[in-house]
A and B are shown apart, each in its own frame.
Chain A
Amino acid sequence: MKRLLRPIIVWALGVSVRVKIMGIALGLVLLLGVGAVIQVQGVTRATFTREMDERALSIARDMAARAADFILLEDFVALRDLVLETLASSKDVRYILVLDGRGNVLAHTFGHFLPPDLQPANAGNQYTGGFRIQRLASEEGILRDVAVPIFQGRAGVVRVGMSEERLEQTLTRTTQQLLLLVAAVSLLGVLAAYLPTVILTRPLLELRDLTRAVGRKVFSSRAQVRFGDEIGQLATAFNAMVENLERADAERSHLLDELRVKEQMRLQLLDKVISAQEDERKRVARELHDETSQSLTSLLVGLKVLGSVVDLPEVREKAAELRALGGKILRDVHDLAFQLRPSLLDSLGLAAAVQRLAEDYAEKLGIHIDCHAVGFEGRRLPPGTETALYRIVQEALTNVAKHAEAKNVSVILREGEASVLAVVEDDGKGFPVAEVMGSAAKDKRLGLFGMEERAALVAGKLTIESTPGEGTTVFVEVPFEQ
């Protein structure tokens, strides 16, 4: 049974919601209908049977009262007339039998002969309430045989047979009408269930389609919120989810784009770093070859000449020249070394190194550079932070030199409780920051990008404020641990 029932239930659970709801409506109507048909059949049968019994009893009692005189006076013609008249005028009466006290037939409604089983049926002398009823099965269906004694049984018994045919016909007709009604109500039920089912399931189907669309990364559609019921709440929640997904997707795309650009910039920066490194080596090599080597060669030649000079004053003069030449070589080497890495940064710290950088640029560019350092009282920042800030200020000053056409530049360093701030401000021509940062011209952005990268490496934040014609200010703030 379980094995048989299980696949049916599993199948029933698998059908669509519409079919389920309509199936439930149909099932309920059918159950109610069948129940009503059975109940009505039962009640009708009971009522009809009771009413038929009462009618049969009334007919039989009337017959018994009227037949008594005929029997006692042996007026069997009148008795037969009475029997036939009663049969003709009574509904549902199939037969009437009048028997004497011994069970002999005195009159009946069958003609000359009568059914042989009928005479001995419903026999006996016991009457409950003055009558006796027996059900008999016949070719024509069930008969109800009601026996009533005549003249206290001394003149015999009258038996009236009631046919249940009309009852059966009525029941059949009633059942047919009820079944028709049930069918009509079922149809109406299905139709009535169809509308709410459509109303209920349409949003669900929409949600299904939308979910599939969202699965394909189509976020443009939204579920329609029709009512405030659970489905409406589901649609609202779904829409919120889709919005979040859309936002997240947009953010992700944006981040991906940014990442891609940054990656590209990084590659370019790396390329530039490598080429800059090569350029620097070339410069150092050229510097060493062109300047230092030449100076050393001059020094060697001078020393050789010195070896052949015999005149002391001339020796002294040559030695002084050679010392000056050696000093120059030393300065050149020192400059070269400073350019490669300012030793001041290592020895005296950021403030001194930046001060020196500003002075160098002022001298080189011929402009006024004002440099202030606040804080830095004997304390040293982490080497990475100092280098990053130094290079950012250097890049900013390089930019001023290259692009700003400024007359005055101000460099401020301020050491706070947990961060250090560097500001490079000029009164140059400025530039549209957003435009330049968003432009595709990578060479323009590479310097700025390098500054950002350096700041980011030490968890710092770089901000550039500039308006064309109104100078540029570069802020960089780098946190440090106490």
Chain B
Amino acid sequence: MRRGPLGHPRATGRCSGSEDRERTVRHLKGLSALATLSLGVFLLAGCSEQDEPPRVRLWALAPPEVTPTDADSRVPLRFAVALAVSPQEGYQLYGDLAEALGQKIGRPVHLILRRAFSEVNDLVRSREAEMAQLCSRGFLQGHADFGLTALAVPVVNRRKSRPSYVIVSAESEIGTPAELAGKTFAFADPLCAPEAFPAGRGGQRPEAFFRRKLLITGHDRAIRAVAEGLVDGALVDGLVYARLALTDPGQVAKTKVIGETAPYMNPPVAVHPGLDPTVREKLRRALLTLHEEQTGRAVLTRLAIDRFAAPGGEVDGRGR
């Protein structure tokens, strides 16, 4: 059989029936091979994830497993903090402080964060926390309730007290607290703040003075709310404002201070009156000497604190 120009078999004469059939059978075989190949490609295209995943039994329930704590068998000292900032910010700031203190007293310090000073007071009172840091008002309440004792007070800018600031947006035309009348205003922690808002000193109640009064948890969040224009103004803790100026100067630059409250004591570190005096002394010394070591200084710098100082006469009041 001769080949044509395209390589196909070319009949030289009249093909016999069997030759025809042979050729058709060959063609059909080719076609079936092609069909099988296409089907294979289709099948391969349809299958991708073929690895066997790990098995879980959803219907067989059991109590959750509890991972044993670290090999460190020493009983941790529980340090409760009433947050003036958001929990994540607070965790970062006080986590480092707890770590530094732990190193100094040779005992792990477990950080407990709470929003309200009352919760912190409750923890200390019920001996679920040995040590606490809370606002001066909370401390005074705890002191009155169950004899909460101050160990140290942060010194910021060489002062043991600071005011709260009335802030507005840097672009705002508002220049005095009185101009905030009829505006939206945010309080971060009204219970900790001094008793009176400067604009309210005229005898007007804040509810009547502002168009809208908001409670924002965390002074850092309140500062951001002002910076981003969510509210017209806010009353924020001076200590937090100073710290945020260090950690997030961009945010703080978007705000301006147009007024401040009377200064009041920086949040003291306090302990239960019944705490083992040895431990108490260890803690006191650790706090007061924290700024003397490099690690401690770094922690204090992040907290925007110069150092911890022994509570003086102003412990009972809010002197400068």
Contacts and interface: CB of A to CB of B under 8 A. Distances in A.
A246 to B, nearest CB: 26
A366 interface: no
Interface in B136-181: none
Interface of B: 21, 24-25, 28-29, 32, 35, 38-39, 42-43, 45-49, 51-67, 69, 86-88, 90-91, 112-115
A45 B49 CA distance: 10
Interface string A104-132: 11001011111111111100000000000
A108 B65 CA distance: 13
A139 B58 contact: yes
B53 to A, nearest CB: 4
A434 interface: no
B53 A151 contact: no
Given A38-B45, A38-B46, A39-B42, A113 B61 contact: yes
Interface residues of A, number: 51
Interface stretch (A4-12, A216-224, A322-330, A410-418): A4-12
Contacts of A9: 25, 28-29
Contact of B25 (A10, A135, A138): A10
Contacts of A102: 67, 69
A69 B88 contact: yes
B53 A137 contact: yes
A177 B87 CA distance: 53
Contacts of A52: none
B42 A114 contact: no
A13 B27 CA distance: 12
Nearest to B67: A102
B41 to A, nearest CB: 9
A111 B54 contact: no
Contacts of A13: 21, 24-25, 28
Nearest to A41: B46
A114 B91 contact: no
Q: Would you call the interface of chain A mostly helix, strand, loop, or mixed?
A: mixed
Given A42-B48, A105-B64, A121 B56 contact: yes
Contact of B43 (A38, A73, A142): A38
Contact of B57 (A38, A72, A111, A116): A116
Contacts of A6: 25
A135 B49 CA distance: 10
A389 interface: no
28 contacts: A13-B25, A13-B28, A31-B35, A42-B47, A69-B87, A72-B87, A72-B88, A74-B112, A74-B113, A94-B58, A104-B65, A104-B67, A108-B64, A110-B61, A112-B61, A115-B61, A115-B62, A116-B57, A117-B55, A117-B56, A118-B56, A119-B65, A136-B54, A136-B55, A138-B55, A138-B56, A138-B58, A139-B58
A134 interface: yes
Contacts of B52: 137
A476 to B, nearest CB: 50
A155 B111 CA distance: 13
Nearest to B70: A102
A31 B113 CA distance: 66
Nearest to A28: B35
Contacts of B25: 6, 9-10, 13
A268 to B, nearest CB: 50
B121 to A, nearest CB: 16
Nearest to B64: A105
A151 B91 contact: yes
